[in-house]
């Protein structure tokens, strides 16, 4: 199976992102199907033993086994590379498989990692507890403090890791400046870009060497499948990612890749709308008397407005609210919401609300949580595709109940 001539033309012409999110990577079989086919097969057959040998020694292109690659997964990878502006991409079963594989693929015993301490709970587990079990040293710092990145560098530092905006506090880290410090130290920067999405922030263009996503979030965007993806230069993916993924096996299911491909067709529409709604909601709630603080990554609602203007093209679908009165008040707020449901997911078409201190960040001590800006009154709101007026009514009624 090879790309049809019109698909090849499409891939080489300078089309707009919205167009590429519908067409890039699509390969049609001889049946000429409109939508992308799901190749639900483990392996492939070969005409001859010679052809099979050639496939295995890379002298003949083609698919071998679904743990290595699969036609539907390859379409998803091509479309994601187009979205990110990356040379290469490899899909994984989950976002955490992408984070773990991207880090372990770059590291060996004796190496050192510097990471921002405000991280998604599982990312922090991988850095703080998992990597050290294999002889990798790690240092967690305040990622917004550029001097701290510099000070943490050791002769064996190989990887810098960060999320920006951070989950759940929505702090912004200067990606271009951190990439520069990493490169001067001979290290490489990996960015978890879930909270900004590929629509509003392009870490590779800012100097990062690797970008990872949980495709479970905005890429699916409708609460169905788990998935992850690692993006970078062809050299980065070939050197650090391709073989470890092939041999250790956290492969994405072809069915999930198909769901993600269909998700990408509506990705820019959804993320744009969700972000517009989040901005409207942030405006409507900003001065509410029950709130200690409202953080939203746009100019008016964020203390790091200048940095946001410099590195992000848009806001986010997430809002961080701190309710006056700590956990009890936050719980009253969550329990009073009717339309917005309590769930730890985000990026969904359905608006969702989380209390990070008792869920995603539960296993940390109160001091560690404060380090990560996860106070007892903090609530993370993920804005979906409902009409913003309905969401504002639900939020205001719940705030009144606090």
Ligand X SMILES: *Cc1c(COP(=O)(O)O)cnc(C)c1O
Residues within the interface to ligand X (CB under 6 A): 94-96, 99, 120, 122-123, 163, 167, 192, 194-195, 214, 216-217, 226, 228
Q: Give the residue with the Cβ less far from ligand X, 111 or 192.
A: 192
Q: Give the residue with the Cβ less far from ligand X, 195 or 331.
A: 195
State the nearest-atom distance from the C-beta of 43 to ligand X, in Å: 26
Q: 272: alpha, beta or left, given left = phi > 0 and alpha = psi -120 to 50?
A: alpha
State the nearest-atom distance from the C-beta of 168 to ligand X, in Å: 9
State the nearest-atom distance from the C-beta of 346 to ligand X, in Å: 6
SS3 string, the chain, reads CCCCHHHHHHHHCCCCHHHHHHHCCCCCCCCCCCCCCCCCCCECCCCCHHHHHHHHCCCCCCCCECCCCCHHHHHHHHHHHHHHCCCEEEEECCHHHHHHHHHHHHCCCCCEEEEECCCCHHHHHHHHHHHHHHCCEEEEECCCCHHHHHHHCCCCEEEEEEECCCCCCCCCCCHHHHHHHHHHCCCEEEEECCCCHHHHCCCCCCCCCEEEEECCCCCCCCCCCCCEEEEECHHHHHHHHHHHHHHHCCCCCHHHHHHHHHHHHCHHHHHHHHHHHHHHHHHHHCCCCCEEEEECCCCCCCCCHHHHHHHCCCCCCEEEEEECCHHHHHHHHHHHCCCCEECCCCCCCCCEEECHHHCCCCCCCHHHHHHCCCCCCEEEEECCCCCHHHHHHHHHHHHHHC
State the nearest-atom distance from the C-beta of 202 to ligand X, in Å: 17
Q: Give the residue with the Cβ less far from ligand X, 211 or 399.
A: 211
State the nearest-atom distance from the C-beta of 278 to ligand X, in Å: 16
State the nearest-atom distance from the C-beta of 220 to ligand X, in Å: 9
State the nearest-atom distance from the C-beta of 159 to ligand X, in Å: 16
Q: Give the residue with the Cβ less far from ligand X, 167 or 190.
A: 167
Q: Give the residue with the Cβ less far from ligand X, 26 or 164.
A: 164
State the nearest-atom distance from the C-beta of 12 to ligand X, in Å: 32
Distance between CA atoms of residues 276 and 79, nearest Å = 24
Q: Give the residue with the Cβ less far from ligand X, 96 or 353.
A: 96
State the nearest-atom distance from the C-beta of 381 to ligand X, in Å: 14
Q: Give the residue with the Cβ less far from ligand X, 185 or 379.
A: 379
Q: Give the residue with the Cβ less far from ligand X, 91 or 399.
A: 91
Residue nearest to ligand X (CB): 95
Q: Give the residue with the Cβ less far from ligand X, 199 or 226.
A: 226
Tokens of 225: 């499948």
């Amino acid at each position: 199976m090879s790309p049809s001539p019109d698909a090849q033309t499409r891939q080489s012409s300078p089309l707009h992102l919205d167009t590429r999110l519908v067409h890039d990577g699509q390969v049609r079989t001889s049946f000429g199907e409109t939508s992308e086919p799901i190749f639900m097969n483990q392996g492939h057959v070969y005409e001859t033993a010679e052809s099979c040998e050639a496939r295995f020694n890379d002298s003949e292109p083609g698919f071998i086994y679904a743990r290595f690659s699969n036609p539907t997964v390859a379409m998803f990878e091509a479309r994601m590379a187009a979205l990110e502006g990356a040379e290469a991409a490899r899909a994984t079963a989950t976002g955490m498989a992408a984070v773990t594989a991207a880090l372990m693929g770059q590291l060996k015993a004796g190496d050192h990692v510097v990471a921002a301490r405000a991280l998604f709970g599982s990312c922090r587990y991988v850095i703080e507890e998992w990597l050290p079990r294999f002889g990798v040293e790690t240092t967690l710092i305040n990622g917004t403090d550029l001097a701290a990145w510099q000070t943490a560098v050791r002769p064996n530092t190989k990887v810098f890791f960060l999320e920006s905006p951070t989950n759940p506090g929505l702090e912004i880290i200067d990606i271009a400046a951190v990439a520069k410090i990493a490169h001067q130290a001979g290290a490489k920067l990996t960015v978890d870009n879930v909270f900004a999405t590929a629509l509003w922030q392009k870490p590779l263009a800012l100097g990062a060497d690797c970008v990872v996503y949980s495709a479970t979030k905005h890429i699916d965007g409708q609460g169905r499948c788990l998935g992850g993806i690692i993006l970078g230069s062809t050299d980065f993916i070939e050197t650090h990612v391709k073989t470890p993924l092939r041999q250790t096996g956290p492969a994405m299911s072809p069915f999930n890749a198909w769901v993600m491909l269909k998700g990408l067709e509506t990705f820019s529409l959804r993320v744009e709308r969700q972000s517009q709604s989040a901005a409207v909601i942030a405006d409507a709630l900003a001065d509410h008397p029950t709130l200690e603080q409202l953080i939203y990554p746009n100019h008016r609602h964020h203390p790091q407005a200048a940095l946001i203007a410099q590195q992000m093209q848009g806001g986010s679908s997430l809002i961080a609210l701190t309710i006056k009165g700590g956990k009890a008040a936050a719980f009253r707020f969550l329990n009073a919401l009717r339309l917005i449901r309590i769930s730890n997911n985000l990026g969904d078409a359905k608006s969702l609300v989380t209390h990070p201190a008792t869920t995603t960040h539960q296993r940390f001590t109160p001091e560690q949580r404060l380090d990560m800006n996860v106070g007892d009154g903090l609530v993370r709101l993920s804005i979906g595709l409902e009409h913003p007026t309905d969401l504002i009514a639900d939020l205001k009624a719940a705030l009144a109940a606090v």
